[in-house]
A and B are shown apart, each in its own frame.
Chain A
Amino acid sequence: MDTMQTSVLIVGGGTTGTGLARDLALRGICCVLIDKKDINAGASGANHGLLHSGARYVFKDGETAEECRIENRLLKELASHCIEPTGGLFVGVAGDDEDYIKAFPDLCRRYGIFATQVSCAEARQMEPCLAEDIIAAYAVEDAVVDPFMLSLDNAADAEAHGAKILRNTRLTGFKMDKGRICAAIVENTRSGKTFEIEADQVVNASGAWADQVAAMAGAHIDMSYSKGSLLITQSRMSQQVINRLRPASDADILVPGGTVSIIGTTSVHIDSLEDIRPTNEEVDVIIQEGSKMIPKLASTRYIRAYAGVRPLVRSPGGGDRDISRNFTLKPHEEDGLENLITITGGKLTTYRLMAERTADVVAARLNNTRPCLTATRKLPPSPKGRWTEPGRAPKVWMARSDARDTLICECEMVSESMVDEIVASLKHEGAVPTLEEVGRRSRIGKGPCQGTFCSFRLAAYLYRRGQLDQAVGMDQVREFVNERWKGFRPLVRDKEIMRVELQESFLCALFGMDED
């Protein structure tokens, strides 16, 4: 069996894992990051993309509120290319708890969070989508962050400083010697090849899978899984982030992103991490609740539903919403383990801080005394994250104005030359440019057609460029379509059903893709 050696092995390629890889690499610490799928394949890629001002947490979790406030301002400076500084509103709707609303500004002040009262008329002028019966409004410093661009850029900068990122690499077990992990046994899920990674320290940044990874080393984490579902609207509903000013509940936050908006979330306790998908009931609840704050949500067209799992570390008693959204850093010393650290929980907004705290522990264990640089050094933009932003591809395509640059995805205007760039970037990383990988790096399939035409066109194009061979392309189209279907199935309403009928008549009646 082949063996790879490094100082630190990071398990999990979400925002925390990639942020940690960068932090360690900037301190001059060698690291290897593995993910069983791809960058942001878990909860890091299935959230609102909201950079919290902190105001959401002032009632229940002052520490998180303050952390969000600090990180929000820091990231706006250091990762500005991933962030749209939209600003945000907190609004109360007729019937919401007025005492709660009254307490809000004082609590914000206590944690240093700006919350400026605006009149309801002013708020509705700023955001005409708001309900007529709003009763209070505060402006806050919320912003929108592209989590894919963020993680891809963190990964790219980590690699530029010597880190190695291994996608499609699944941890299957640890080789233990008493309280020490000697090696991680991993498998490349594409080739089936197994090899070992020997590391001085292992960081478990696997999000909702943290307990499973810890269990491989004989440690226990008491976790609770909370599924949150979100819906993407076909067009952008608001300029700013809009929060409902009430105790956390379903469909409280509307976040714009490029040309679309995202409304969510739900909080559904689940016991298994298999087959995470939004249900019809969740979709109905989100639309019904969301439309009390934003009436247009009842009639607008949705293009996708998706779900992520919040990794919550359990404290005795209380429901999932009451578990702290703060992060958990576990050095596992009490478990008798000397080189495993688990970092889980937390939020997108505080990913950098989580990485910093974890890196501090790792560095101390490795006797590395160099300071953290991620709080002062700008995150450089990389070509990898370029095509994930909604609305970016159309702008570039128009600017390039080359009629020969045929559009593969007409909904999101992703052209052949953009696919070429993504393919080149994937190959440079040693990845195989599959439909799934190209899809994850771009907006292909994420528009109203949901892959009906573009998945197949993309396959045809990748074949033409010699990137696909034999019959694998149709299997990839099947996977791609089913991944989109997962997010579209609960949304099928009046107009959408026509598109599904059309899609099925091509893919099944004509292509026979329902045959083995």
Chain B
Amino acid sequence: MAETITETIQCDVAVVGTGMAGMAAAIFAAGRGLSTVCVGKPSEMSFASGCLDLFARIPATGTQTAQGFDDPFEGIETLSRCQPGHPYARLTRDEIAAGFKAFTDFMGDAGLPYHCSPGANQKIITPAGTLKSTFCVPATMMAGSRALAGKNPVLIVDILGLKGFGARQMAQTLKAHHPEINSVSIAFPGRETAGDLMCERLAWDLETPDTLNRFIDLLRPHVKGYTAVGLPAILGIYRFSELLATIQDQLGVGVFEIPTLAPSVTGMRTREAFLTRAASAGIRHFPVFVKEVAVDEDFRFFVTQGTQTLEVCARHLLLGSGRFLGRGLGKGDNEIQEMLFGLPVIQPADRGDWFSPDFFDPAGHPVNRAGIETDDAFRPLSADGKVFHHRLYAAGSILAHQDWKRERSGSGLSIATAFKAVSAIADDMK
């Protein structure tokens, strides 16, 4: 490989991973004027709901039932007291808030605005008809959250052939909480006879004016008397703000999106917003999967671009490679490994203890808390408890002692830990 290298890129920070943690870290690093390289394949962002969770729940423990929080910061304060090893316990409220502000500002500038309410979680409707607590809600979902809070009449619309998104299921499930809710099914214009529709395809379709107008005409007879109309998240990949405004204007009601299962359009929008703005923000992004990094004083690895092989030589490296889906963690026969550096992974002693017999165990599965141990600046530790490399950092779901799925803390952990790690890198570069 070495003989075909066409360029060596020297940079202050290399970010490995392009999930929430990787994107956030790259945004923060570039925002601080650091030269930033970001590597990672299109990640499991295509599974993302589009909402930014911060914290909503402390899972049950042996002695305590699970505890829900309307105020995420109050929750984090309680959590930090009872779980001092949790990554959030290493962060101040100001650091978390500053991270969210920098991230949502970037996304807002990229055309993906969020609504956050400083001391409170908001509720969105899920495709199961349950209510989810989250911190920042994409603007396209806000009319639903407002209608829920105001107890206003809501209509949910689904599309024939779009499976796993059932308006009647949502309405029936939500009725107990929100009595004024109804559902209707419509056929998508131009795809009336095609079964098995995909959200992405429909989102592209709606970006054409003719399809959009026909879609609005189909909705019109159903919306009278409702304050808000909920649709699957298919209102375009790029021009969603504009499409939403058009539909609301034409129908004269509030319209909101409901996230869908994978592959989700909401996750694609986040990724696209990041990618389209990355270059102008000074981030060099390579959509490759890095399997090997040479470590001396600096971090060196190869990336390919077209037919070229480039060497990246980074002063700092931030590991935002995620858990199993992101391939940050992997599994040997009987134990979990960190895939890039072979860092020690905190994990249950026995494979038999990884999972609870109850999939929905309110305590979560023990394996969920497996991950990388770090110091207060989020630098991974070696087996001897010393820092593995004084310029290696980790952020996001790869960290140990958290259970993002059960805490509803996925985006928040990524954003906040990336923010603090990048602050430390920036200090180091001064």
Q: Which residues of A are at the interface with B, using a C-beta cutoff of 8 A?
A: 275, 277, 279-281, 402-408, 453, 456-457, 459-461, 463-464, 466, 468-471, 473-474, 477-478, 481-482, 485-486, 489, 492-494, 497-498, 500-502, 504-515
- In this complex, the member of B161, B359, B365, B404 whose beta carbon has the largest number of chain A beta carbons within 10 angstroms is B359
Whether the pair A492, B354 counts as a contact (CB closer than 8 A) is yes
Q: What are 16 A-B interface contacts by the 8 Å CB criterion?
A: A280-B351, A403-B193, A404-B193, A456-B127, A459-B166, A459-B169, A463-B169, A463-B172, A470-B172, A473-B172, A474-B129, A501-B323, A501-B324, A509-B53, A509-B404, A511-B128
Q: Mostly helix, strand, loop or mixed at chain B's interface?
A: loop
In residues 114-170 of chain B, which contact A (Cβ within 8 Å)? 126-132, 158, 161, 163-169
Chain B residues, Cβ within 8 Å of A504: 359, 365, 368, 405
Determine if B166 and A460 form an interchain contact, defined as CB atoms under 8 angstroms apart.
Answer: yes
**Cα separation A492 to B165 with both chains bound (whole Å):** 28
Residues of B within 8 A of A471 (CB): 129, 172-173, 175-176
A-side contacts of B44, CB under 8 Å: 502
Q: Which of B129, B175, B333, B359 contacts A485 (CB 8 A)?
A: B359
In the bound complex, CA of A221 to CA of B38 (Å): 70
Minimal beta-carbon separation of B359 from chain A (angstroms): 4
The interface bits of chain B over 161-189 (1 if a CB of A lies within 8 angstroms of the residue's CB, else 0) are 10111111100110110000000010000
Residue among A457, A474, A508 making CB contact with B406, cutoff 8 Å: A508
Which single member of B47, B132, B323 contacts A511 (CB below 8 Å)? Answer: B132
A508 touches which one: B195, B354, B405 (CB < 8 A)? Answer: B405
Kindly state whether residue B330 has any CB partner on chain A within 8 Å.
yes
In the bound complex, do residue A511 and residue B126 qualify as a contact, i.e. CB atoms below 8 Å apart? yes
Contact of A474 with B130 in the complex, beta carbons under 8 Å? yes
Q: How far is the CB of A15 from chain B (nearest CB, A)?
A: 28
Residues of A within 8 A of B354 (CB): 492
Instruction: From the candidates A481, A485, A489, A502, name the one contacting B47 in the complex (CB within 8 A).
Output: A502
Q: Do residues B126 and A512 form an inter-chain contact, with CB atoms below 8 A?
A: yes
Q: Is B77 an interface residue (CB 8 A)?
A: no
Cross-chain contact B359 with A511 (CB below 8 angstroms):
no
B261 lies within 8 A of chain A by Cβ: yes
Q: Say whether A461 contacts B166, CB under 8 Å.
A: yes
Residue of B nearest to A486 (CB): B357
Residues of A within 8 A of B341 (CB): none
Tell me, yes or no, whether B396 is within 8 Å of chain A by CB.
no
Decide: A515 near B405, CB < 8 A? Known: A456-B164, A460-B163, A463-B172: no
Which B residues from 389 to 430 make CB contacts under 8 A with A? 404-406, 408, 410
B68 interfacial contact with A, CB 8 Å = yes
Closest Cβ–Cβ distance, residue A417 to chain B (whole Å): 10
B168 contacts which chain A residues (CB < 8 A)? 463-464, 466
Question: Is residue B194 within 8 Å, beta carbon to beta carbon, of the partner chain?
Answer: yes
Total inter-chain residue pairs, C-beta < 8 Å: 155
Distance between B72 CB and nearest chain A CB, rounded to angstroms: 15
Contact A460 B362 (CB under 8 A): no
B196 in contact (CB, < 8 A): yes
Q: Which of A497, A498, A514 contacts B360 (CB 8 A)?
A: A514
Residues of B within 8 A of A404 (CB): 161, 193-195
Give Cα distance in the complex from A404 to B128, angstroms: 23
Also in contact, A280 and B352, with CB within 8 A (given A463-B166, A471-B173)? yes
- Which residues on B sit within 8 Å (CB–CB) of A457? 163-164
Chain A positions within 8 Å of B132 at CB level:
510-512
Note all chain A residues with C-beta closer than 8 A to B355: 489, 492, 500
Closest-CB distance, A290 to chain B (whole angstroms):
17
Kindly list chain A residues whose C-beta atoms are within 8 Å of the C-beta of B359: 481-482, 485, 504, 507
Question: How far in angstroms is the closest Cβ of chain A from B173?
Answer: 5
Q: How far is the CA of A494 from the CA of B360 in the complex (A)?
A: 21
The residue of chain B having its C-beta at the shortest distance from the C-beta of A477 within the complex is B128
Give the Cβ gap from A485 to chain B, nearest Cβ, in Å.
Answer: 4
Instruction: Give the shortest distance, in Å, between B41 (CB) and chain A (any CB).
Output: 14
Q: Does A505 lie within 8 Å of B47, measured CB to CB?
A: yes
Residues in chain B near residue A494, CB distance under 8 A: 330-332
Known: A508-B405, A510-B132. A464 touches B166 (CB 8 A): yes
How far apart are B52's CB and chain A's nearest CB, in angstroms? Answer: 12
Shortest beta-carbon distance from B199 to chain A in Å:
13
Interfacial residues of chain B within 356-377, with CB under 8 A of chain A in the complex: 357-362, 364-365, 367-368
CB-based nearest A residue for B68 = A515
In the bound complex, do residue B128 and residue A509 qualify as a contact, i.e. CB atoms below 8 Å apart? no
Q: Which residues of B contact A407 (CB under 8 A)?
A: 163, 195-196
Task: Name the residue of chain B whose CB is nearest to the CB of A497.
Answer: B324
Which residues of chain B are within 8 angstroms of A405 by Cβ–Cβ distance?
195
Q: Which residues of A contact B169 (CB under 8 A)?
A: 459-460, 463-464, 468, 473
CA distance A511 to B362 in the complex (A): 14
Hey, which chain B residues are within 8 Å of A406, CB to CB? 161, 163, 195-196
Task: Judge if B349 is at the interface, Cβ distance under 8 Å.
Answer: no
The interface residues of chain B lying within 8 Å CB-to-CB of A469 are 172
Let me know if B173 and A470 touch, CB within 8 A: yes
Q: Are the C-beta atoms of B405 and A509 separated by less than 8 Å?
A: yes
For the complex, is B383 an interface residue (Cβ under 8 Å from A)?
no
What B residues does A510 contact at CB under 8 A?
A: 49, 126-128, 132, 259
Q: Is B2 an interface residue (CB 8 A)?
A: no
Please tell me if the beta carbons of A474 and B173 are within 8 angstroms of each other in the complex.
yes
A500 to chain B: closest residue by CB: B355
**Told that A456-B261, A471-B176, A506-B47 touch, could you supply 19 new A-B pairs with CB distance under 8 A?**
A404-B161, A404-B194, A406-B161, A406-B163, A407-B163, A407-B196, A463-B168, A470-B172, A470-B176, A489-B355, A489-B357, A492-B355, A494-B332, A497-B367, A509-B53, A510-B128, A510-B132, A511-B126, A513-B128
| Residues of chain A contacted by B259 (CB below 8 angstroms) | 510
Find the A residue at minimum CB distance from B333.
A493
Residues of A near B66 (CB, < 8 A) are 514-515
Q: Which residue of A lies closest to B44 (CB)?
A: A502
Q: Is the CB of A498 within 8 A of B128?
A: no
Nearest residue, chain A, Cβ from B57 = A515
Confirm or deny: B1 has a beta carbon within 8 angstroms of a beta carbon on chain A.
no
Q: Is the CB of A461 within 8 A of B128?
A: no
Given contacts A489-B357, A515-B68, contact A464 B195 (CB under 8 A): no
CA distance A494 to B357 in the complex (A): 19
A162 to chain B, nearest CB (A): 39
- Alpha-carbon distance A507/B408, docked complex (angstroms): 12
Within the complex, what minimum Cβ distance (angstroms) separates A393 from chain B? 15
Minimum CB distance partner of B327 in chain A: A498
Cβ–Cβ contact A512 & B130, under 8 A: yes
The docked-state distance in angstroms from the alpha carbon of A500 to that of B358 is 13
Could you say which residues of chain A place their CB within 8 Å of the CB of B331? 493-494, 497
Distance in angstroms from A451 CB to nearest chain B CB is 10
- Whether A474 contacts B128 by the Cβ 8 Å rule is yes
Residue of B nearest to A473 (CB): B169
Best-surrounded residue of A507, A508, A512 (most CB of chain B within 10 A): A508
Residues of B within 8 A of A486 (CB): 357
- Residues on B with C-beta less than 8 A from A493 are 331, 333
A502 to B358, CA, bound (A): 16
Query: In whole angstroms, how far apart are the Cα atoms of A463 and B194 in the complex?
Result: 21
